């Protein structure tokens, strides 16, 4: 961990360094005052990003546990039945990848100072995210129509567990994006911090990558 670089080791050195800790995102501290008259406690944006990366570490461990359970469960039994994956998953994958692209376009618009573009691309990301979740539901319906449910066979159990766990996490991402979109104007005009945008973007791209991983696991181990 490059943590030692985050905090200066010697006070003498520290004295020379501008306190980047205050007002992350380039906004004057005055902007962060709450309505109640008291200054609100805030930590630098960097800290939120760091926290998000560690949250993602926890999520990685969750999926690592599911994966290892899958590998062991498949390897130790004779009742494994492969689930032929619904074709729509490929389309869903494309939709999710597209959502990462639109999210980056929205952030680019934000940097360029274009509030409307920012909001538009952000909304597109939300729609694509919901589209992915809808597509996953279609995949579930397709399996159900084939008579493949959660408890049908071990393969289907893991299919539903992995897709549901990822879907729930992605749903959280959609909620976060919707929150950011609801404040898009204030963020673009500099009246609210950009931190939620950046942190949500980390999360969203990571969920994208996580889906690629889950999809890869499903394709190669089913």
Interior angle at CA 60, CA 101 and CA 176, nearest 5: 45
Judged by beta carbon, residue 27 or residue 63, the one nearer another protein is 63
| Residues written for the chain | 222
Q: How far is the CB of 112 from another protein (least distance, A)?
A: 29
Judged by beta carbon, residue 105 or residue 222, the one nearer another protein is 222
Q: How far is the CB of 172 from another protein (least distance, A)?
A: 12
Judged by beta carbon, residue 78 or residue 145, the one nearer another protein is 78
Judged by beta carbon, residue 81 or residue 112, the one nearer another protein is 81
Q: Binding residues for another protein, per CB under 8 A?
A: 1, 3-4, 6-11, 14-15, 38-41, 43-44, 46-48, 50-51, 54-55, 57-66, 68-69, 72-73, 76-80, 150-151, 154, 157, 161, 165
Contact 203, 176 (CB under 8 A): yes
Task: Give the span between the Cα atoms of 203 and 101, in whole angstroms.
Answer: 14
Q: How far is the CB of 52 from another protein (least distance, A)?
A: 8
Provide the 8-state DSSP code for 32.
G
Task: Give the span between the Cα atoms of 171 and 163, in whole angstroms.
Answer: 12
Query: In whole angstroms, how far apart are CA 41 and each of 34, 111, 170?
Result: 9, 26, 29
Q: How far is the CB of 93 from another protein (least distance, A)?
A: 23
């Amino acid at each position: 961990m490059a943590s030692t670089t985050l905090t200066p080791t010697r006070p003498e050195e520290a004295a020379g360094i501008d306190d980047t800790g205050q007002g992350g995102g380039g906004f004057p501290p005055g902007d962060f005052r709450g309505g109640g008259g008291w200054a609100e406690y805030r930590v630098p944006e960097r800290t939120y990003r760091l926290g998000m990366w560690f949250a993602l570490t926890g999520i990685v461990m969750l999926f690592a546990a599911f994966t290892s359970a899958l590998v062991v469960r498949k390897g130790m039994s004779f009742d494994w039945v492969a689930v032929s994956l619904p074709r729509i998953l490929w389309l869903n994958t494309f939709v999710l990848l597209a959502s990462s692209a639109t999210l980056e376009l929205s952030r680019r618009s934000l940097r360029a100072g274009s509030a409307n573009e920012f909001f538009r691309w952000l909304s597109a990301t939300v729609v694509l995210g919901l589209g992915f979740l809808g597509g996953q539901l279609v995949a579930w319906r397709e399996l159900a129509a084939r008579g493949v449910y959660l408890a049908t066979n071990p393969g289907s159990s893991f299919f539903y567990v992995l897709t549901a766990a990822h879907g729930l996490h992605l749903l959280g991402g959609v909620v976060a994006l919707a929150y950011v979109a609801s404040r898009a104007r204030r963020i673009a005009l500099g009246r609210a911090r950009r931190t939620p945008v950046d942190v949500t973007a980390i999360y969203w791209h990571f969920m994208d990558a996580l889906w690629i991983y889950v999809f890869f696991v499903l394709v190669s181990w089913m």
